[in-house]
Structure 1
Amino acid sequence: MSAVESMRAGRWHGAGDVRIERVGRPKPVGGQILVAVERVGLCGTDLEEFARGPVDIPPHLRTGVTLGHEVTGRVVECPAGEVAVGTRVIPDVVRACGHCEWCRRHEPGLCDDLVVLGLQADGGLAEFMLADATTCIPVSESVPLDSAVFAEPLSVAVRAIRKCGDLSGADVAVIGLGTIGNLAVQVAALHGVRTLIGIDPVATRRAQAGASIALHPGEVSGYLAGARRPDVVIECAGTSASVVDALGLATRGGTVVVIGTGAARMTLPMRAMVLTEKRLLGSAAHVWDVDVQAAVALLERSLIDPLPLVDRVIELEAVVDDGFAPMERDSTMGKVLIDPQT
């Protein structure tokens, strides 16, 4: 296989086993684009697969799959001409069947045949990746690469905030101020909230998020003694305890939106939730022309600044030693970005 026909890719082969391998460079057909990947963000989902996988990787791919679903890059091939070669894009990583009930309702993330690139098919932790031409979003050259790569996680926050309803004059709390929680705070702040509370045990994360009120979890009960409970609580920590805390924190008739997925099962205070008529909603993934497009627009207008979240930018070969390994040791570490072209 010649250098032109091959590429380097970060391939998952099992828990603790991600290898940089030389594989065949994919060839786009009609309806597809080939993207030269310029940045990939390592997500908590990627870390979970590295540390404890397979979690969402299906059985038929457990002999190897290219990770990576937070991607920005440049179009290098587009056989049908839908997107001009040279365009910088955010490839959508949510691929659905296009004809089931959920797809007809424009909810592709609920499709029975859902495929997420980087988990159920090869993703962008590589020099090149295939994507669907019609669902990629062009992104302005004015957006720095290290910001553009946040379009996918930002779209997750955008979708969650959209599920909260009208936030004008509302009191909003965000539990868990990692990447998604930080972005949720930034997006919520654009919606006319009255009070924005950020809750996290890590002082640097509390300071970085920029909420009007920053609390350690141990300070929440004291705060509530003299303040109104939030109308909306967005849960981003992904633990059983934090979901229960979110339900207890919300005011009567309030809404809790859960983004965190760490806890597979939990016991909920159902009687209290029912008697106080609270709403509990899940929010996952994104829709390309709603959430991803909105996220790109926020980045292009400089309304969201993700750059303080970046810990480091590393080469593809360093993805384990300087990426997954330190992320596994330090759960408070900032975002690791990969430059596959170096």
Structure 2
Amino acid sequence: MHAVRLHAFGPAENLEYEVVPDPEPGPGQVRIVVAASGVHFIDATIRSGRVMGPIPLPELPTIPGREIAGVIDRVGEGVDESWLGKKVVAHIGQVPGGYAELVVTEAERLQRIPETLDPAQAVAMIGTGRTALGILRFADISTDTVAIVLAAAGGIGTLLVQYLKNAGAAVIGLAGGPEKVDLVARNGADLAVDYRLPDWADRIRAVYGDRPATLLFDGVGGEITPAAVDLLAAGAQHLTYGFAAGPARINEADLAERKITSESVLGPRMFALPGGMRALEDSALAQAATGHLRPDLHRFPLAQAAAAHRALENRATTGKVVLIP
């Protein structure tokens, strides 16, 4: 089979498209003929040689990727043969291997792909979708909510905007560049703003007032976060789930004075939610199947995984990045 392998940590160019032996399923496992593989920012971080949270650096060479969808062509000992030929999607956990034409994983990780979704859409929901819904579990949302979504044209941001609008909230979406801003507006945001413009915060104040927001979704960090926090009303929520632009410096004393809560919602807190990650996967796939949530997709051929990583790191993608064998 063909797969993308990493032989040395470093730049995207270190990802090599190669021929490798076909994997075989062991007891309790299945083999999937892959139709779509998800690309995550964590993949690029690990590829560069940096540890990302609880995920350790893999032994090299390695095949990156943890989200896959396709058709089962072989089952291992102890697995019901009725799985053969079924269209499935799976998050394969901390053991990578998804950037490949064939992937082996445990049968207990499988989810059926709803008839209304294609494999790329299912891949977007099994990882990014479940994370978005997990983040939303920590948010207080009502028809009085005014929410700011940073990176609103990204995989998670796209789904947050849609969910918030479905819940009746007012949504301010930030993105970098005119094309991304247009996407955020088409996605339903009440106000879409280009954070690359020096007066972006003033543009929000011109429409909504001085400190209008009750909720801030932040997967960006860096210099954007303090300016966005300054737009929060007293008693607002600041939910963080990443630092794509680096750590953010926040005035903790100011937050306390304004009774603003700031909390990170990834990691153990999300895993401890009722039903765990499986319940979030179920909900994400179901909401996409009914059209309640609609993942935006940025597709690359599997052989161009390096280009996909470069584009993701350079913020040249929108929605969920997916590799197609």
Q: TM-score, normalised by structure 1?
A: 0.79
* Aligned-partner SS, 1:66: coil
Find out whether 1:323 has 2:321 as its counterpart: no
The answer to whether the 8 Å contact 1:92/1:137 transfers is: no
Q: Write the distance in 1 (CA, Å) between the matches of 2:282 and 2:61.
A: 31
The answer to whether the 8 Å contact 2:133/2:284 transfers is: yes
Q: Deviations over 1:96-149 (max 9, x none)?
A: xxxxxxxxxxxxxxxxxxxx2xxxx22210112222222322112321233222
* Aligned with 1:19 (options 16, 23, 42): 16
Question: Relative to structure 1, is the Cα distance of residues 279 and 31 closer, same or farther in structure 2, using a 3 angstrom cutoff?
Answer: farther
The answer to whether the 8 Å contact 1:233/1:250 transfers is: yes
* Aligned with 1:288 (options 270, 273, 277): 277
Q: Residue 49 of structure 2 aligns to which amino acid in structure 1?
A: G
Q: Deviations over 1:262-320 (max 9, x none)?
A: 3564432010011112111223376432211111011111222224x42x441x32322
Question: Relative to structure 1, is the Cα distance of residues 283 and 136 closer, same or farther in structure 2, using a 3 angstrom cutoff?
Answer: farther
Find out whether 1:160 has 2:157 as its counterpart: no
The answer to whether the 8 Å contact 2:300/2:308 transfers is: no
Q: Write the distance in 2 (CA, Å) between the matches of 1:253 and 1:164.
A: 13
Q: Deviations over 1:141-162 (max 9, x none)?
A: 3212332221121221111112
Q: How many residues align?
A: 300
* Aligned with 2:230 (options 209, 231, 248): 248
Please provide the CA RMSD for this pair: 2.4
Q: Residue 38 of structure 1 aligns to which amino acid in structure 2?
A: A
Q: Residue 204 of structure 1 aligns to which amino acid in structure 2?
A: E
* Aligned with 1:129 (options 76, 86, 103): 103
* Percentage of matched positions with identical amino acids: 20
Structure 1 residue ranges without an equivalent (≥5): 1-6, 95-115
Structure 2 residue ranges without an equivalent (≥5): 271-275
The answer to whether the 8 Å contact 1:91/1:132 transfers is: no
Q: Deviations over 1:13-61 (max 9, x none)?
A: 22121122333333323332222211013222223344x33434635x3
Q: Write the distance in 1 (CA, Å) between the matches of 2:46 and 2:137.
A: 28
Q: Residue 138 of structure 1 aligns to which amino acid in structure 2?
A: R
* Aligned-partner SS, 1:183: helix
* Aligned with 2:123 (options 140, 149, 161): 149
1:103 equivalent in structure 2: none
| C-alpha deviation, 1:325, in angstroms | 4.0
Q: Residue 213 of structure 1 aligns to which amino acid in structure 2?
A: L
1:102 equivalent in structure 2: none
* Aligned-partner SS, 1:149: helix
Q: Deviations over 1:48-78 (max 9, x none)?
A: 344x33434635x342211112321222233
Q: Residue 191 of structure 1 aligns to which amino acid in structure 2?
A: A
Question: Relative to structure 1, is the Cα distance of residues 256 and 326 closer, same or farther in structure 2, using a 3 angstrom cutoff?
Answer: closer
Q: Residue 25 of structure 1 aligns to which amino acid in structure 2?
A: D
| C-alpha deviation, 1:327, in angstroms | 4.3
| C-alpha deviation, 1:222, in angstroms | 4.1
* Aligned-partner SS, 1:252: strand
| C-alpha deviation, 1:12, in angstroms | 1.8
Question: Relative to structure 1, is the Cα distance of residues 254 and 336 closer, same or farther in structure 2, using a 3 angstrom cutoff?
Answer: closer
